[in-house]
Amino acid sequence: MSSAINELTYRDKKLIFSDTVPSGKIGWQSPSNIALVKYWGKMPVQVPRNPSLSFTLSKSNTKTRIEYTSASGRDMKVDFYLNDQPNPEFGLKTKAFFESISDIFPFIRQLDFKIYSENTFPHSAGIASSASGMSALALTLCDLERTHFGNLTEDADFYRKASYVARLGSGSACRSVYGGLVDWGKSKVLANSSDLYGIPVGDQVNEVFLTYQDTVLLVNAEQKKVSSRAGHSLMNNNPFAPERFQQAQRHIGELLEAMKAGDLETFIKITESEALTLHAMMMTSQPYYLLMKANTLQIIERIFAFRDETNIPVSFTLDAGPNVHLLYPFSEKEKVMQWIKSELREFLSPLGFIDDEVGKGPVKL
């Protein structure tokens, strides 16, 4: 990491309204993402212990609209509405986040906020709503800066800052500000990579991955018993962690090579190994815990068997939960869908599945 990047803080005392404090509305829609090489383990402040690589999704989005007016008092006011319902818990969390980034956007303290947020996927479906939610919020704040201070007019600057700010909210959110395949974390094989923000790398891969499918099989829609924050911190004492962090470094290089070459066999080997390693880290933490369910394993067994029988390159990855992300080329969609409906349905919760795919990234509302 160059020292210039190391020092990148985006602190800027000049971002203060000196005359009239404006009011207005700004909104962004941002997608969730699914990691292929997993981020698991971090250092302060939200710096990953290893680089990660993800597909940004298409249909699993958060839409966030911010209404801002001149502050009515000294205490910051953040009213949060989730799906049009007041949500004081999210209001408090967002207020704490805004306070934590008020040296980046000092004008935040001059405003009152009403935030309207909605997810296009069911709550607790195992889709990372923190990634889509935090990236939508970060993009909206950068847009507020661009609108009223005339900064960030170059897209590269705008998205880099949004990614940096999103990372402070939720690490993996920094990858959601770009479409396609995105790296976050310093890797030898990617010259521009950084621990502080994501970079898009989708233009480097074979076209089969531009339309790759991710059908999320919902095994269990319960709330997670162990938060990812707690999971990350358990990596500090996991005896296998140092080797895991090195493995992730190797996987980034190998996976990118395979994806450039369109080598699906290696893609499958690395991504499935990543999914199982993530869960192995949970099982080898102290205290240990298990997020897979019996039906998660049933589905994984069926995937191995189906792939052996048909040679269809369908594979899986897992997030920090029991649901299975089924990954496959668009050209196999019909056959895979038929198989899901005939053979996997019995292992799914009543929510069924979410039929998603690689997406193009956030859009302004």
Interface contacts to ligand PMV, rule CB under 6 A:
35, 38-40, 52, 128, 130, 170-172, 228, 232, 278, 319-320
**Residue 205 beta carbon to ligand PMV: minimum distance, rounded to whole angstroms:** 18
**Residue 297 beta carbon to ligand PMV: minimum distance, rounded to whole angstroms:** 18
Which among 213, 174, 154 is positioned nearest to 336, based on CA atoms? 213
Cβ-based nearer residue to ligand PMV, 205 or 320:
320
Task: Report the b/e string of 114-152 with b at 16+ CB within 10 A.
Answer: bbbbebebeebbbbbbbbbbbbbbbbbbbbbbbebeebb
**Residue 231 beta carbon to ligand PMV: minimum distance, rounded to whole angstroms:** 7
Q: Hey, which residues does 47 pair with through a beta bridge?
A: 43
Cβ-based nearer residue to ligand PMV, 111 or 271:
271
Cβ-based nearer residue to ligand PMV, 57 or 344:
57
Cβ-based nearer residue to ligand PMV, 34 or 111:
34
**Residue 174 beta carbon to ligand PMV: minimum distance, rounded to whole angstroms:** 9
Cβ-based nearer residue to ligand PMV, 107 or 121:
121
Q: Show the 3-state SS of the chain.
A: CCHHHHCCCCCCCCCCCCCCCCCEEEEEEEEEEEEEECCCCEECCCEECCCEEEEEEEEEEEEEEEEEEECCCCCCEEEEEECCEECHHHHHHHHHHHHHCCCCCHHHHHEEEEEEEEECCCCCCCCCHHHHHHHHHHHHHHHHHHHHHCCCCCHHHHHHHHHHHHHHHCHHHHHHHCCCEEEECCECCECCCCCCCEEECHHHCCHHHHHCEEEEECCCCCCCCCCHHHHHHHHHHCCCHHHHHHHHHHHHHHHHHHHHHCCHHHHHHHHHHHHHHHHHHHHCCCCCCCCCCHHHHHHHHHHHHHHHHHCCCCEEEECCCCCEEEEECHHHHHHHHHHHHHHHHHHCCCCCEEEEEECCCCEEC
**Residue 238 beta carbon to ligand PMV: minimum distance, rounded to whole angstroms:** 14
**Residue 222 beta carbon to ligand PMV: minimum distance, rounded to whole angstroms:** 17
**Residue 288 beta carbon to ligand PMV: minimum distance, rounded to whole angstroms:** 16
Cβ-based nearer residue to ligand PMV, 170 or 306:
170
**Residue 235 beta carbon to ligand PMV: minimum distance, rounded to whole angstroms:** 11
Q: Hey, which residues does 325 pair with through a beta bridge?
A: 216, 317
Residue 44: what are its φ and ψ, rounded to 5°?
-70, 150
Cβ-based nearer residue to ligand PMV, 50 or 215:
50
Cβ-based nearer residue to ligand PMV, 26 or 282:
282
Which among 123, 125, 33, 26 is positioned nearest to 361, based on CA atoms? 33
Cβ-based nearer residue to ligand PMV, 38 or 49:
38
Cβ-based nearer residue to ligand PMV, 26 or 54:
54
**Residue 248 beta carbon to ligand PMV: minimum distance, rounded to whole angstroms:** 10
**Residue 180 beta carbon to ligand PMV: minimum distance, rounded to whole angstroms:** 16
